Amino acid sequence: MLPKKTHWSGDIVPELHGKEVVVAGWVWELRDLGRVKFIVLRDREGFVQITLKAGRTPERLLATFSELGKEDAIAVRGIVEASKIARRGVEIFPVEIWVLNKARPLPIDIWSETPDLATRLRWRSVDLKRPSNLALFTAASKILREIREVLYGEGFVEVFTPKIIATSTEGGADLFPLMYFERVAYLSQSPQLYKEQLTASLERVFEVGPAFRAERHNTNYHLNEFTSVDAEAAFMDYWDMIQLLERILGRIARLLSREEPRLREVGLAPRLTELGSVPRVDYDEAVDALQRAGYSVRRGDDLTVEMQKALTKYYGPAYFIVHFPALLRPFYTKRKDGERTESYDLVINGIEVASGSTRIHKRDELEEEMKVRGLDPRLFESHLSIFDLGMPPHAGFGLGFNRLLMALLGLENVRQATLYPRDRYRLEP
């Protein structure tokens, strides 16, 4: 019978002294000092030391030890003992060891060396056993949970919209086509149009799901499939959304300060563990500041990553850029005055992690903006028709979850923050 795991390794503390527990995981390290032998067992939450002693440990377990190899999947039932010399002040004396599956030598080193990223991604499932990855992706799940909790707390409902779609949502050609029976369909770039339509019924919605972009970029911050956290709310504007994002960042900062010790132990350096108010920088002001710093940039130009990094010097590690020129933004963005829009980007450590705006909620204005961008309103009829039926004023944001992790955890490459990245040259594993 499969032994039932009673504790995570991280839960084995000196206070459990004398208790019987069952732990399960993988053999990280084996040390044989003759009369004393150690197994360091790894599971998702860390490590625990299993101590075998001649005279105390049953003979057959000592025999089992001699057959163990690194990364064998094992379960151990044993008695916890507080110890002055053991790792984390505690060890387990086994009464039973189950070898659940043997492991051949791993194709990459997860113990001491960190191979280059391409090699790690080639063997991603193995690479994910690395303690830094375990800490990273458990932190990622907790970060997402904080985001969800803020949104639920503020009356948003979680929704799921189709990822197979008939027309482009953002305009542009960055779509992956696919065969949908007899016709061509596309993978969704963003839930933009659906989430806007849903504000006319559910009012406040959010979605966590994949977004597909057929961009040919091959940079450290572009993926062809990423996880997007999208929010949209009726009767709100871009300032409401900026404040909402700020509250989300505040919650994440508190989480990261709690998680900091574990993250630092595995070499990750969380940023933004303390967060005051996040500056709102007018696009025009940012351009002026960049010009003064010697960048050749003019009003109407998009800001490059290099420029966004440069602005960090003036505004700190996290800032919003607000009021972008209309032509830098998608057709659904509401104008503020003339060329400026009620739009914003959130930049952390020089990387754009979220963007959003107040949306146009009047059909004629929306059609006008489509035409300005060379889009044919007739192709959007099913979307536009909703705007004749009491569309409320609304606003929202799209937050790139992988980029957020990259920025928050100080990673160099967005692929590190993605379990199985899809990029220009990577479709497997």
Ranges assigned E (strand) in 190-323: 204-212, 225-234, 280-282, 318-322
* Cα distance between residue 239 and residue 187, in whole Å: 31
Nearer to ligand AMO, 92 or 360 (CB): 360
Assess 254 for contact with ligand AMO (CB under 6 A). Answer: no
Phi, psi of 372 (to 5 degrees): -55, -30
The mark string for 149-178 relative to ligand AMO (x by CB under 6 A, - otherwise) is ---------------------x--------
Total residues belonging to the chain: 429
DSSP single-letter state for residue 160: -
Tell how strand 394-400 and strand 351-358 pair up: antiparallel
CB 132 within 8 A of CB 238: no
Sole residue written with tokens 């960055």: 174
Helix and strand numbers, DSSP H then E, in the chain: 11, 18
Q: Which is nearer to ligand AMO, 71 or 230 (CB)?
A: 230
- 82 or 214: whose CB is closer to ligand AMO? 214
Q: 170: burial class by Cβ within 10 Å (0-12, 13-18, 19+)?
A: middle
CA distance 59 to 260: 42
Asked if 357 touches ligand AMO (CB under 6 A), the answer is yes
Question: By CB under 6 A, is residue 352 in contact with ligand AMO?
Answer: yes
Q: Which of 354, 360, 366, 384 binds ligand AMO (CB under 6 A)?
A: 354
CB 207 within 8 A of CB 363: no
The size of the interface with ligand AMO (CB under 6 A), counted in residues, is 23
Q: Say whether residue 38 binds ligand AMO (CB under 6 A).
A: no
Does 397 interact with ligand AMO (rule: CB under 6 A)? yes
d(CA 391, CA 201): 9
> Tokens at residue 106, please?
């791993």
* Dist CA 354 CA 232 (whole Å): 13
Cβ-based nearer residue to ligand AMO, 28 or 397: 397
Q: Binding of ligand AMO at residue 403 (CB under 6 A)?
A: yes
Q: Judged by CB under 6 A, does residue 394 bind ligand AMO? A: no
Q: Does 215 bind ligand AMO (CB under 6 A)?
A: yes
End-to-end CA distance of the chain: 33
Closer of 216 and 298 to ligand AMO (Cβ): 216
**Residue closer to ligand AMO, measured from CB, 23 or 351:** 351
Residue 257 CB, nearest approach to ligand AMO (Å): 23
Q: Which stretch binds ligand AMO (CB under 6 A): 58-66, 127-135, 220-228, 287-295?
A: 220-228
- 331 contributes a contact to ligand AMO by CB under 6 A: no
Of 226, 283, 319, 320, the one binding ligand AMO (CB under 6 A) is 226
Going across the sheet that includes 183-187, the strands are: 164-165, 183-187, 177-180
Binding of ligand AMO by 323 (CB under 6 A): no
**Which of 375, 373, 395 is closest to 384 using CA atoms?**
375
Q: Say whether residue 223 binds ligand AMO (CB under 6 A).
A: yes
Nearest one of 71, 371, 352, 40 to 226, comparing CA atoms: 352
Separation of alpha carbons 343 and 394, rounded Å: 12
- Closer by beta carbon to ligand AMO, 51 or else 190: 190
**Residues 335, 356, 380, 394: which binds ligand AMO (CB under 6 A)?**
356
Query: From the CB of 100, what's the least distance to ligand AMO, in Å?
Result: 38
Give the SS3 label for residue 335.
Answer: strand
Which of the stretches 246-254, 259-267, 299-307, 351-359 binds ligand AMO when contact is defined by CB under 6 A? Answer: 351-359
d(CA 221, CA 308): 13
Site for ligand AMO contains 416 (CB under 6 A): no
Q: Identify which of residues 91 and 230 has a Cβ nearer to ligand AMO in the complex.
A: 230
Q: Which of 51, 199, 308, 355 binds ligand AMO (CB under 6 A)?
A: 355
The H or E element that residue 372 is part of is helix 363-372
Candidate segments 84-92, 99-107, 176-184, 390-398, binder of ligand AMO by CB under 6 A:
390-398
Q: How far is the CB of 311 from ligand AMO (least distance, A)?
A: 16
Residue 325 near ligand AMO by CB under 6 A? no
Nearest to 47, CA basis, from 65, 25, 75, 64: 25
Where do contacts with ligand AMO occur on this chain (CB under 6 A)?
A: 170, 190, 192, 213, 215, 222-223, 226, 228, 230, 352-357, 396-398, 400, 402-403, 414
